[in-house]
Structures are given as structure tokens and as C-alpha cells.
Structure 1
Amino acid sequence: MTARAVHVRSGQGAGGSWELAYASPHPRLRPGVISYRGIRLAMDRPRRRLETPIGASTLLLGFEGPVRISRAGQATDTLVSVYCGPTTTPAVGEHGGRVSGVEVLLTPWAAFTLFGTPQHELVNRTVDPDTLPHALGSPLGELSAALAALPGWAERFELLDDVFSQWWKAGTPGSERVARAWSVLVRTGGAIPVPRLAEEVGWSVRQLENRFREQIGLGPKAAARVLRLQRARRLLARGQTAAETAALCGFYDQAHLSGEFKAMTGCTPKEFSQARQAPGPVSPAADRLSGEATSLVLPARPADWSGPDAHFSKTRRAG
């Protein structure tokens, strides 16, 4: 078995107990498979979070407890395991207090290879992973059950390495130029102009747009928006002012930053920063990307978790 560093954080108190385990995928899977995170929550009440768009696809292989996901203008999904491709809109995720599983972050082009599904079909959607085809054919529910049966996080992450390696070898080959273009976008925080990006990989803008639609889901301009806002959230969380952040991230001005921020998170930069700093219920930090500001804890519903959904516009603010 390959030696790996697994970092575990846990806690227990009046509100219940929690455990988070973090590890990097095997080097042969990187940079396509970004990270593994094990989750075990046994809380005394429901938990709700607002999740903002990030430059990654998310696969949650659940062991216990469903997660309910709401996105403006869409039907609510209640699933134990979840796949979410690239998004440009926020979502609210909630659960009854007990949930466990492994969350895998993938670059969108790696998700295309593993699942073989044109990524534009999955943009701004949440789906049951069992509905996604993959090269070896068995339902992902079987993988979730196999992971749950193992004694610890290290063994679970080792199994994921083995399974993803098999899928990768048998999967749909992606374009090296798409992967390179995505890497450039990430490295520049979405600041590179699309024509220059196309020139960088030797394609026309139309070719780049078509390949991004297939293997990333978002077009290069939309992908750049997400990555630019992701960098802005990171800078704001580190104490940069909105004016400084707008200039550093390539927004026209502070108003442009605020408009983009609200469109993709549901709140202004000031509201987001204040909500991140506001005291809330005792629970572990659950940002999907290490060192990134990707989520907000939302107030618990006054009604039981099984009750009807409130409209997204009523829940998008926290604090």
C-alpha cells in the first residue's frame, strides 16, 4: 500500500461530533484529481451552507444521510451521493445533521475523461452519480458501499486511487490542449483574454470554445469569470479591500466586482465577508478548496429539515 499523509481534524461538543480527513490523490492522478476529503458529521440539528461556484467539479460519494441541494430556478435534489459539474450560480446544501462520505474534487477535463459525458450537459446541475456512465460500467453506489465498509480514511483514499486509475486508463481521452488551456486559466486567475488563450494552445477562438463546451462545460469566457471571482474571494478573505481586489483581479472597477460577486454568490463582497466573520453554530469549516473562501454557513431552518423548501432568494444571505 502506498504511504500517504492523511490529515484528520475532529471535534466533539454539546452540538455533536465531527471529523474531517484530508489527503492528496496519488501523483499519477494529478493534476486531474485535485483532492480527497473524508466527512463524518453527527450533529444534533440540521446544517445549511451556501456553496459558491469554484473552478472544479465535485463528486460526493455518500455513506449515510441525504443532502438536499437547492439552486434558484431549479427543482430541489435530495441525494446521498452527488455530482456537481461546473457552475456559475450558487447553491444551498443542507442535511439533517448526520452525513458521511468522501468528497472528491476534479478538474472539469478530468471529469470528462472519467465519465465520458459532454460537460455542457452538466453545467449548473446536480445529479446522482449513478446516472453518469464510466468506462468500467458498475454503478457508483457500489463504490460508495465499498468505501463505507473499509476501516479508515487511508484505506478509502487508497481504494479511490486504484479505482480512478482504472477508470482513467479505460476512459474517454481528453485533449491535452484543453488541459493546458485550463491550467493557464487557473494560473492567471481567469485574467488572460480568450483570444490570447486560444493562441497559447494553437487553436482558433471557435475551436477553443467548442472544446471547452465539451470537456470543461463552461465556455472559456464563463470559466474565466468563475476563476476570476474565486481569486477575488481569496483576496478579500485575506484582508484586501474591494477596490484593491477589483484592480488585482482585472475587474473594470469596484462596481463591476460587486455585480459579478452578487450574480455568482447571491450576495455582495461586503455581505459575504461579514457572513464569513459572523459567529455561528459550532461546526467544522467546510470550504471545498483548501485555503479558499468557498462557502457560507446559513442559519438553520425554523421548521424541521423535512419541511418544504424556502425560496432561494430568502436564504441567500447569512449571518
Structure 2
Amino acid sequence: MAGFRDRGVSAAGHLAVPHPAVTLVLEFGAGPLIVDAAGGRQHRGSLAAGLGFGPGAARVRGERFEAVQVRLSPLVARAVLGVSPADLEGTVAALDDVWGRPAAQIRERLGDASSWEQRFAVTDALLARRCRPGSSVDPEVAWAWHRILVARGRVRVDVLAADVGWSRKRLWSRFHAQVGLPPKRAAKLVRFDHAAHRLAAGEDAARVAADAGYADQSHLHRDVMAFTGATPATLAGAPWLAVDDTAWPQRWRRGQPTADRPTRRT
């Protein structure tokens, strides 16, 4: 999880970088958090977003908003959210619609907390209370997801299906229903995420493209544009990669957080 404070200094907002996780954004503070999503859709306030933060580019903006961002593995997201990640595919949903009244209560509790550590503790307790045992995914789906992560997206769906003893069609159906994306799209997202972190760490784009399995640097550029609407150079500095140590050096986590200098907890 990460904490953000935006004092309204950037009217254009900040790039919402797709990530292979289900995203919760718990907003509090004086002004609303606004998400400008693909297709001209707009969302205000706390939200839940499916794997990859939905299709196409999205930007987050606001004036004097504060927020705690949480990334959940799709394997546990249903147990915590009470809805399947597949129900969030391609959408940014209002947390009020997902949780009802508790969403307003968590906003109040976060606003009453006096430090980011207290807000993280409040969020930890909330997630623990909401977690429902037994809301698990098939072992075959969990194995396929972990295999995609370990391979950094460089794995064939037919190989995954053969390894778990399922047909390609059955793996596609079960994986999509329980993780929230088809396996091939999930693998593409994981590969993009790996490349994004290496770009954020300052590595050369041509080297990243070669090591991540892209045909060439142009292929990487097209993938980054498709996921974010931004160039690789712009992606490398996006603050919403801040949950990750690789993408956000320690020097930026000192002092009070802003949208350009968040604080984090793993």
C-alpha cells in the first residue's frame, strides 16, 4: 500500500500505471480524487479497479485529496472485496457500490488518523476484517497465475493448460472468471509491468525490450502506449508506481508525502 497527498499543483493529473493487481484507492481529505478513464468516463472518490486498472490510459487528479492505495493479488481479491475480479474487468467502480456504507466509514476513520502509519494500520485492520475464508480460486488457476508471474509474462497459454491437465478452453474460461483477465492478456500485463519497473529504475529501453521478450524497442514502445497512452520515458517517472521499491528509489520516500513523493508500506 502507499499513501498519497495531492495539493492540486498538477492540473493534468498523474498517470495511473496498469499493474497486475486489483487496486483499491481509499480517498479522504478536503477535495475529491478524480479518475479520468478511457472513453471519457470519469469517477470521483474511493474506488476499486480490476486487474490492470481497466483498458487504455487513465489519469488521476484532484485538489487537496489524500488517499491510501492498496494493491491486492487477484487470488485474494474476491475474499477481501466480496466480488470477483472478473466483475471489475475493464471498470473503475465506486467503492460505495462495492462495499456500501463501510466505504464511508473507512473514509472517516482515515481522515481522523493523524499519521500515515495510523492510516496504514486502519487499512490493514479493515482488510483483515473483510477477508472471508473459503473465497479461493481453483488450485490450477492459482498455479497458472504464479507461473505467469515467475516467467514475467513469457509463457504460452497452451503450455500452462497442458501443465495443469486442462484444455486450453477450460483454462481460458476458469482463469478469466477467477482472475479477471484471460491468461494471454494477463501474461501481457505482467510482461509490461516488468518492463515498466526496469524503465523506472533507469535502464535503457532497448535493453529492457530485449530482456523482456519484445521483438524490438518499437514493440515495447507500442505496448507502453497501448497500456498507458504515454511514452516509455514518461512512464518511467509516474508516481503511481510508488508501491514498488524497484520503481521508486528510497530517496523519494523521505519526509511528507505528496503526489510526487508518496510514502509506502508493503
TM category, shorter? 0.7 to 0.9
Higher Rg of the two aligned structures: 1
- 1:254 matched residue in structure 2: 217
- 2:91 is matched with which residue: 108, 125, 132? 125
Structure 1: 5+ residue stretches without partners: 1-35, 278-283, 295-319
- 2:70 is matched with which residue: 87, 104, 119? 104
> Deviation string for 1:73-127 (max 9, x for gaps)?
24222x221211113422011112x011321111122222222323233122111
In 2, the alpha carbon distance for the partners of 1:196 and 1:287 equals: 31
Offset of residue 199 of structure 1: 3.2
Query: Is residue 153–residue 188 contact of structure 2 (8 Å, CA) maintained in 1?
Result: yes
Query: Is residue 112–residue 216 contact of structure 1 (8 Å, CA) maintained in 2?
Result: no
Could you tell me the percent identity over the aligned residues? 30
- 2:25 is matched with which residue: 60, 74, 78? 60
Query: Is residue 47–residue 95 contact of structure 1 (8 Å, CA) maintained in 2?
Result: no
1:115 aligns with 2:81: yes
CA RMSD of aligned residues (A): 2.7
Using the size of structure 2 for normalisation, the TM-score is: 0.80
Offset of residue 289 of structure 1: 3.1
Q: How many residues align?
A: 245
The equivalences for 1:288-303 within 5 A come to 288-291=242-245, 293=247
Structure with higher helix content: 2
Query: Is residue 27–residue 45 contact of structure 2 (8 Å, CA) maintained in 1?
Result: yes
In 1, the alpha carbon distance for the partners of 2:132 and 2:42 equals: 35
Offset of residue 222 of structure 1: 0.4
- 1:210 matched residue in structure 2: 173
- 1:73 matched residue in structure 2: 39
Query: Is residue 115–residue 171 contact of structure 1 (8 Å, CA) maintained in 2?
Result: no
Higher relative contact order (CA 8 A, sep 6+): 2
- 2:204 matched residue in structure 1: 241
Offset of residue 131 of structure 1: 0.7
Specify whether residues 205 and 238 from structure 1 end up closer, same or farther in structure 2 by C-alpha distance, changes over 3 A only. Answer: same
1:37 aligns with 2:2: yes
Structure 2: 5+ residue stretches without partners: 249-266
1:192 aligns with 2:155: yes
Specify whether residues 177 and 152 from structure 1 end up closer, same or farther in structure 2 by C-alpha distance, changes over 3 A only. Answer: farther
- 1:10 matched residue in structure 2: none
Specify whether residues 243 and 44 from structure 1 end up closer, same or farther in structure 2 by C-alpha distance, changes over 3 A only. Answer: closer
In 2, the alpha carbon distance for the partners of 1:60 and 1:221 equals: 27
What is the one-letter code of the residue matched to 2:98?
Answer: L
1:182 aligns with 2:145: yes
- 2:192 matched residue in structure 1: 229
- 1:312 matched residue in structure 2: none
- 1:90 matched residue in structure 2: 57
Using the size of structure 1 for normalisation, the TM-score is: 0.68
For the residue of structure 1 that corresponds to 2:38, the secondary structure is: coil
